[in-house]
Amino acid sequence: MRKAFASAAALTFAASAALATGLEIQIEGEGANGTVNIDLLEETAPKHVEQITALAAEGAYDGVVFHRVIEGFMAQTGDVEFGRLGGDMRRAGMGGSDRGNIPAEFSDLNFDRGVVGMARSSDPNSANSQFFIMFAPGPFLNGQYTVVGQVTDGMDVVDQIKLGKGANGAVIGAPDVMTKVTVTE
């Protein structure tokens, strides 16, 4: 009986994860204020989408800053370990979540304006919780990073995210923050 219950619970979780098709991100700060909607690409990157939606459903992304923002390139966020508002911004971008890393799910999709990709270290299989949104096309990323989604509404908000002025696009002062990240269907 216990085994049947566990299987039913796993199927329920799998079914609910299959229904998760997007994210709604509330952003506040000195630069951006508004909502960004992202369509997640479950068929392209199922393991990455599963991890992102699980973290969002847990509230792990709430209060996480955009720690690396490079003009004409991208805005990076999602460090649920070190990237919380009020935390030590010197370590933001160095952490992940308590979940394991995700194997690469490269595709033939292009990194165009509004595309959402997973950040990683030099190891292609090291993506965890951090992601970035493209301000402009970045064809040099094609086939090198996992595409997980596309902004469908709110690129005007993304364009207003406070730019980084420090080394490698690090934000100086108070960065813009994802105040609430919700999984949408």
Residue (of 83, 84, 80) closest to 92 by Cα position: 83
pLDDT 10s digits, 67-94 = 999 999 999 999 999 888 877 777 787 8
**What is the CATH number for 155?**
2.40.100.10
pLDDT 10s digits, 7-45 = 333 333 343 344 458 999 999 999 999 999 999 999 999
Q: How many domains does the chain have?
A: 1
Backbone angles phi, psi at 3, to 5 degrees: -65, -40
Mean pLDDT score across all residues of the chain: 87
Could you give the CA distance from residue 50 to residue 44 in angstroms, rounded to a whole number? 12
Backbone angles phi, psi at 90, to 5 degrees: -70, -25
Average pLDDT over every residue of 146-160: 97
Q: What confidence score (pLDDT) does residue 10 get? A: 36
pTM to 2 decimals? 0.87
Q: What confidence score (pLDDT) does residue 16 get? A: 38
Q: What confidence score (pLDDT) does residue 25 get? A: 97
Q: What confidence score (pLDDT) does residue 130 get? A: 97
**Radius of gyration of the chain measured on its C-alpha atoms:** 16
Say which residue, 164 or 45, is predicted with more confidence: 45
* Residue numbers of the domain that contains 107: 2-184
Average pLDDT over every residue of 104-121: 97
